[in-house]
Amino acid sequence: PAGNANFAWLQHMIYHLAPNGKIGMVLANGSLSSQSGGEGEIRKKIVKDDLVEGIIAMPTQLFYTTQIPVSLWFISRNKKQKGKTLFIDARKMGTMVNRRLREMTVDDIAKIAATFQAFDDGTLEDMKGFCAAVTTEGIAKQDYILTPGRYVGIEEQEDDGEPFEEKMARLTDELSEMFKRSHELEGEIRKRLRAIGYEL
């Protein structure tokens, strides 16, 4: 489509791939699910041609110039795992090096690389909330949307042993206390604003 070059760029790179060529691309997350201007149809054909080897959803704040999250697309003309695509949800990975910038650690990168290697070797076990190997048929059921979260699911939470009723009573009390405190703070702010001649 005229208004967005994501898929023009992606198709241009695919066109130039050698018969056994691979590419890695960084694209805005919108490219994973957009339907406007025929983008959904282009993505569907790329998936059906068995070119998408893997998609990694990255965390926010990896760049100095923008805080938006991106995804890594790995495209291959000759995938080792035919008819399958690896999805990795790495949104919780990385370490904040300052208030504005996050970096992927050596361990983070090693974990992602090892996951890809296991996928290529056919030894990967899906890990809830992190990775999943999905068939093209499985992707078709999701209307060819490539957002990793749809496929990897939600990480299972460890049971802390606190009975549900007790936990809800405790959390409700905590929330009530927070509401009370917020009203006190609101009153304090209004009072201070009035003192300098402003009214909310």
Q: What is the mean pLDDT of residues 94-102?
A: 91
- Please check the confidence at residue 157 and state whether its pLDDT lies above 60: no
Place of tokens 């893997």: 54
Q: Which residues pair with 85 in a beta bridge?
A: 134
Residue 142's φ and ψ, nearest 5 degrees, are -100, 20
Q: Which helix or strand (DSSP H or E) is residue 84 part of?
A: strand 84-89
Residue 92's closest CA among 56, 67, 58, 131? Answer: 58
Both tokens assigned to 85: 């695509």
Name residue 178's amino acid. Answer: M
Q: Per-residue confidence at 124, pLDDT binned at 50, 70, 90?
A: very high
Q: In the CATH hierarchy, which fold is given to the domain comprising 6-152? A: Rossmann fold (3.40.50)
CA distances from 73 to 11, 37, 105 (A): 12, 20, 20
Nearest Cα to Cα of residue 46 among 145, 192, 154: 145
Q: pLDDT digits over 126-136, tens only? A: 999 999 999 99
Sequence spans of domains, the chain? 6-152, 158-200
